[in-house]
Structure 1
Amino acid sequence: MTPPPCITWRRAALSMAGAAALALWLGGCSDVGTLNAVTARGSHTLQADVAYGGLPRQRLDVYRPLAAAPAGGWPVVVFFYGGSWNSGERGDYRFLGEALSARGVLTLVADYRLYPEVRYPDFVEDSAQAVAFGLDHAAQWGGDPKRVFVMGHSAGGYNAAMVALDARWLAANRHAPQDLAGWIGLAGPYDFFPTDNPDAQPVFFHPHYPPRAQPIEFTQTRARPTFVGAPTKDSLVSPERSTRQLAARLAAAGTPVTLRTYPGASHTTLIGAFAWPLRWVAPVLDDVVAFIQSTPPVVAR
């Protein structure tokens, strides 16, 4: 059966938009600006530049769903972007805040201090402070403080993993990993010492790496429910060494783990696939939202 011309045109337009967005993304021309330019504005309210600490980079943006909050409040995600701990801006990820808030997830996209201003562990401390802020303030935006998730991509996936697996960081903010409903890591480096990434080397004092500075070192005990996803092939972060190994070790320790790999995605387009023109690349948005919706709230400690 031949579809009506309007349907054929719409499909072609979406295909061309997706192809153009992908070409721009891979070519480095306007990259996230292109994705943000086609991001819907009517699915959320944005409260920008909220301070979670006293330093200039300790700021976050809050994406609040427009739909009525469910009983108890929306689930909450605190998201950290990648950039080898050298670059990144929260405003570049409006497409992600929109995607999750449109699915009923209150989303906090946070900045953190970067190299050369700081090195490890300062950005982990910032991340823990932002997550603690989310736990403490979720309810004021209609979120459920018992359904708070920390999430990150690439270097941000490392930050999320350290906050969720190593209790030191939340403890400094009067919280514990047990206060989280779960955590989500996308193409994160969880076991990467020694690294050949010249951007990451000075961040971690190469070749004199600090002890207990990798998420893989904190997989011996049961952790909060975990979602880890990665491209099948990734030239920047090894999905075998990091994602698959971390998932296997956590599962062996009794942690509920959801592992997804995406043959159509690259390290970069895995996060780009949250934007509607690139959702054909990988169903990562659907998978992450399904994980959030199926994970039970925290039982009061």
Structure 2
Amino acid sequence: MLLWLPVLAGCSGVGIINALTPGGQTQAFEAIAYGEAPRQRLDIYRPQDADGNAPVVVFFYGGTWREGAREDYRFVGRALASCGIVAVVADYRLYPEVRYPDFVEDSAQVLAWAYRHIDRYGGDAHRLFVMGHSAGAYNAAMVALDARWLAAQSLSPDILAGWIGLAGPYDFLPITNEDARPVFEWPNTPPDTQPIEHASERSPPALLVASHRDTTVNPERNTAGMARALRSYGVAVTERYADRTSHVTLIAALAWPLRWLGPVLDEIDMFVHDTRPRAEAGPASAQ
């Protein structure tokens, strides 16, 4: 297994990871349009016995806002569905077709679609979560924390029971990643592009997971920093570190062959099922 790790975690291993992550008692609904653009499509993975009360997780993948495809993340949808969760795995428009904030707007549009339609697939819109890895965690954080984006959909972050960030960049000015610079039109990037600037007492509860071995997104500045910011407003935060993983293998740890790297799926499962529906949640408190 250790010899196979670089292959399984890399782009060439996505097909293997997907193939080795069983669907079990789950169903998939593919290529559902949430907008008019070709990349505005989503897939849904649901437990076969979903009865309208299942929690819902909307997932956005990473790729420096330049690459990625929902088909590569079937293992995420299957893993979540195996835990009794209705999973929505969505594409969003990428650079150079678009720049900030278009992909955030797409993310809000996905959430609005899920909130309004997920009951058809056995999900409970009152138990709606948004999750992302890397650049996708940025998207998730922005729609969860900055009310502007869901307001454009006549909604607010109050629809969310919680949000989940895996190795997310939440505080990255000045931009040192050359691939990310044109996405945010550096050096003319305003401070309000940073998710950490939008932490407040109204923020939904959060599960933040990273690895201290991450050399791509600094975990102390981003994950720990976001956790401190949210706690300063009394928001409930679960903060975890899976130090067998790297930046890439943190999300790969959801796949069946790589779950020995850390209990990432278990943490997500526990957070989603233990967090009360947003409509019933009382004042948040730090954990």
The 2-side partners of 1:50 and 1:267 are apart by: 29
Please, which moves more after superposition, 47-56 or 217-226?
217-226
Task: After TM superposition, give the deviation of residue 21 of structure 1 in Å.
Answer: 4.2
Match of 1:167 in 2: 147
Secondary structure of the residue that 2:148 maps to in structure 1?
A: helix
Matched, 1:152 2:132: yes
Q: Secondary structure at the match of 1:279?
A: helix
Name the CA distance, whole Å, in 2 between partners of 1:232 and 1:277. 22
For residues 81-119 of structure 1, the C-alpha deviation after alignment (integer angstroms, 9 at most, x for no partner) is: 000000000000000100000110000000000000000
Report if the CA contact (8 A) 1:21-1:34 is conserved. no
Greater shift, 269-278 or 30-39, is seen at: 30-39
Are residues 1:53 and 2:35 paired? yes
Where in structure 2 are there 5+ consecutive unaligned residues?
282-287
SS of residue matched to 2:56:
strand
Q: Does 1:38 align with 2:54?
A: no
- Structure 2 equivalent of residue 24 of structure 1: 7
Alignment partner of 2:175 out of 195, 198, 209: 195
Match of 1:207 among 187, 191, 194: 187
The equivalent residue for 1:102 is 82
Question: 1: distance between equivalents of 2:122 and 2:138?
Answer: 28
Q: Select 2:96's aligned residue among 108, 113, 116.
A: 116
1:130 pairs with 2:113: no
1:153 CA drift (Å): 0.2
| Corresponding position: 1:264 with 2:264 | no
Mapped partners of 1:165, 1:243: distance in 2:
15
Question: Where in structure 2 are the equivalents of 1:172-251 lying within 5 Å?
Answer: 172-251=152-231
Q: Which runs of 4+ in 1 moved over 4 A?
A: none
The whole-number CA distance in structure 2 between the counterparts of 1:124 and 1:283 is 29
Q: Give yes or no for contact 2:23–2:82 (8 Å, CA) kept in 1.
A: no
Equivalent position SS for 2:246 = coil
Work out whether residues 149 and 181 of structure 1, in 8 Å CA contact, stay in contact via their aligned partners in 2. Answer: yes
Distance 1:21 1:285, change over 3 A: farther
User: In structure 2, what residue type is equivalent to 1:112?
Assistant: Y
Q: Which has the larger radius of gyration?
A: 1
Tell me by how many angstroms 1:169 deviates: 0.2
Q: Distance in 2 between matches of 1:20 and 1:45?
A: 32
Q: d(CA) in 1 for partners of 2:142 and 2:11?
A: 32
The count of aligned residue pairs is 281
Contact 2:145 2:200 in 1 (8 A): no
* Structure-1 separation of matches of 2:8 and 2:95: 24
Partner AA of 1:179 in structure 2:
I
The alpha carbon displacement at 1:253 in A equals 0.2
Would you say the 8 A contact 2:41–2:91 is kept in 1?
Answer: yes
SS at match of 1:120: coil
User: TM-score, normalized by length of structure 1?
Assistant: 0.90
Distance in 1 (alpha carbons) for counterparts of 2:111 and 2:203: 17
What secondary structure is seen at the aligned counterpart in 1 of 2:129? strand
Residue 285 in structure 1 maps to residue 268 in structure 2: no
Supply the distance in 1 between the matched residues of 2:200 and 2:117 (Cα, whole angstroms): 31
Return 5+ residue gaps in structure 1 as ranges. 1-15
* CA-to-aligned-CA distance 1:244-272 (integer Å, 9 cap, x gap): 01001101101111000111110000000
Deviations 1:160-196 (A, max 9, x none): 0000000000010011101111100000000001121
